[in-house]
Structure 1
Amino acid sequence: MFCCCAEPPAAEVVGEVKLRDPGHEETFHEGGFVKTERASQPEDLEPSQETSTFEVKVNGAHGIQIDGSDPECTIVRKVNEDGMVAKWNTSAPENKIVKEGDRVLEVNGTQGSSIEMAKILRQEGPFTLLLQKPQEKVVALRRPGELGVVLNYQKAGANAQGSISPWIAKINGGLLGSWNIQNPEEAVSVHDRIRAVNGISGTPEEIMAAIRDSKDLVKMRVHHYGFL
């Protein structure tokens, strides 16, 4: 059996959260897909030079599970201990060990949406995976003021595992837009994942709550994938 846990089509599962100043009420759209403006165009999806890519070749059941809640950025959710990728990890150098949060760029030379990637990963091997290591960045925003960001994530349900973390769908200026201008080395972009806020990690809901509960400093640990 070839293990690839893919998410249902994004059109069925994505919820949107618009983050504003604590004086405003966040807007949650439950149930169904919330249509937002495209975070980027297809020609913008190549990783920048500041992020590293590596290739993994395995035969047989690869044993990776993916988070496909962002249809344009497929992320490794888990590496199963009994899969061939886990075996690869035992002898790979540190910079080529497959970990949660790595991005899947290609499978057997094919690029595509998260759904298309999942279909290929369900096929029989061998597999050649082109993966990308995220660059970890720390963003520190001080209120008052609107954060200026739209975060999307997939809620866990009977037929979906849910997102491992929220991802940036749009930056609308605000505090985050100003941060990017003032701190180009630590700038973040669409499709980046928010992994922790003020030291709090966990489910997307827990991360969102940490942002809402932050009255002054909002310190975010972000996985950056170099989208232009």
Structure 2
Amino acid sequence: MTGAAVVAVGRPVIVSPETQVVKLGESPKGVDLGDVPSAVEVQGKAAPPEQPVAAKPEVPAVQPIAEATARSASFTCSVDKNGQPLGIRVEYVRDKCIVLAVTSGLIPAWNNANPDKAVRPGDCISQVNGEAVSGAQAADKLAQSAGKVELLLERPQELRIPIQVGEVLGIKVSELLEGFGVEVTEVKQDGQIPSFNKDKQLAVRPSDRIVAVNGKQASSSELFEMVAASSCQELLVYTYS
């Protein structure tokens, strides 16, 4: 394995208890999967065990597809805040603000009334009240909003990618501290994922998320270990525009 790196981070910061906006910061661990790893290592040493956390992020049940021909669909969710909690927990890393969990409040009520436009973990918030936002901007807008709140969300497309054991993946991934899935931070020129991407309208890109390995969904730290293991045979990827 080459290019493993570690970035020290603190615990997530709650920007606003009411909206439950979670700041994740940078990834605590990154691994370069340009080579076939036998174990996850950090700066030449075995990675330290994860510290226990109070709760793990919700990972939704998914119905993966082998290949898709269209980019992700967008939809609008509109609620009147009026002093009530939105009822979602989000993460923001770089340019993405992604729904981490749906809790209790206005958006769960919206989901019940609008099942075809239900907000789900993995959805990406791209506009708040008609204003294009990304990453921390979206989280700040959610924390500061009052009255009517209109969200434009992107539903990710799902890719199930078969992996040949023993051959390089050709991507770099990072664990997200209590985040949603494992983030793809780089797609290289050579490897199984770059080969999968060729001549496809829907392809794996940086900022996409690996949400299951070998059919198993788990926390970010667990998925990170599974992606890096030599027994990885299938990836389920959420891909965004």
TM over 0.5: yes
Query: Superposition pairs for residues 158-169 of structure 1, below 5 Å?
Result: 162-169=178-185
CA RMSD of aligned residues (A): 2.5
Indicate the residue corresponding to 1:198 in structure 2.
Answer: 214
Checking the alignment, whether the CA contact within 8 Å between 2:88 and 2:103 is kept in structure 1 is: yes
* Deviation of the 1:23 alpha carbon: 5.0
* Deviation of the 1:26 alpha carbon: 4.5
The verdict on how the C-alpha distance between 1:185 and 1:112 changes in structure 2, with shifts beyond 3 A counting, is: closer
Indicate the residue corresponding to 2:149 in structure 1.
Answer: 127
Indicate the residue corresponding to 2:96 in structure 1.
Answer: 73
After superposition, what is the alpha-carbon deviation per residue over 1:64-88, rounded to whole angstroms, capped at 9, x for unaligned? 11021x221111011112x111111
With structure 2 as the length reference, what TM-score do the two structures score?
Answer: 0.73
Query: Superposition pairs for residues 42-57 of structure 1, below 5 Å?
Result: 50-57=71-78
Deviates more, 1:206-215 or 1:171-180: 206-215
Q: Which has the higher strand share?
A: 2
Checking the alignment, whether the CA contact within 8 Å between 1:4 and 1:121 is kept in structure 2 is: no
* Deviation of the 1:24 alpha carbon: 6.0
Helix, strand or coil: the match of 1:122? helix
* Deviation of the 1:168 alpha carbon: 0.8
Q: Which has the higher helix share?
A: 1
Question: What is the count of residue pairs matched by the alignment?
Answer: 197
The verdict on how the C-alpha distance between 1:102 and 1:114 changes in structure 2, with shifts beyond 3 A counting, is: same
Letter in 2 for 1:219: E
The verdict on how the C-alpha distance between 1:23 and 1:87 changes in structure 2, with shifts beyond 3 A counting, is: closer
Indicate the residue corresponding to 1:98 in structure 2.
Answer: 119
After superposition, what is the alpha-carbon deviation per residue over 1:37-69, rounded to whole angstroms, capped at 9, x for unaligned? xxxxxxxxxxx962110011101131211021x
Cα distance in 1 for residues equivalent to 2:235 and 2:194 = 14
Cα distance in 2 for residues equivalent to 1:191 and 1:75 = 11
Is 1:224 matched with 2:239? Answer: yes
With structure 1 as the length reference, what TM-score do the two structures score?
Answer: 0.77
Q: Percent identity?
A: 25
Q: Which runs of 5+ in 1 are unaligned?
A: 32-47, 156-161
Checking the alignment, whether the CA contact within 8 Å between 1:3 and 1:65 is kept in structure 2 is: yes
Checking the alignment, whether the CA contact within 8 Å between 2:126 and 2:134 is kept in structure 1 is: no
After superposition, what is the alpha-carbon deviation per residue over 1:156-181, rounded to whole angstroms, capped at 9, x for unaligned? xxxxxx21211111101212111111
The verdict on how the C-alpha distance between 1:133 and 1:121 changes in structure 2, with shifts beyond 3 A counting, is: same
Checking the alignment, whether the CA contact within 8 Å between 1:4 and 1:65 is kept in structure 2 is: yes
Q: Which runs of 5+ in 2 are unaligned?
A: 1-16, 49-68
Letter in 2 for 1:114: G
Checking the alignment, whether the CA contact within 8 Å between 1:20 and 1:26 is kept in structure 2 is: no
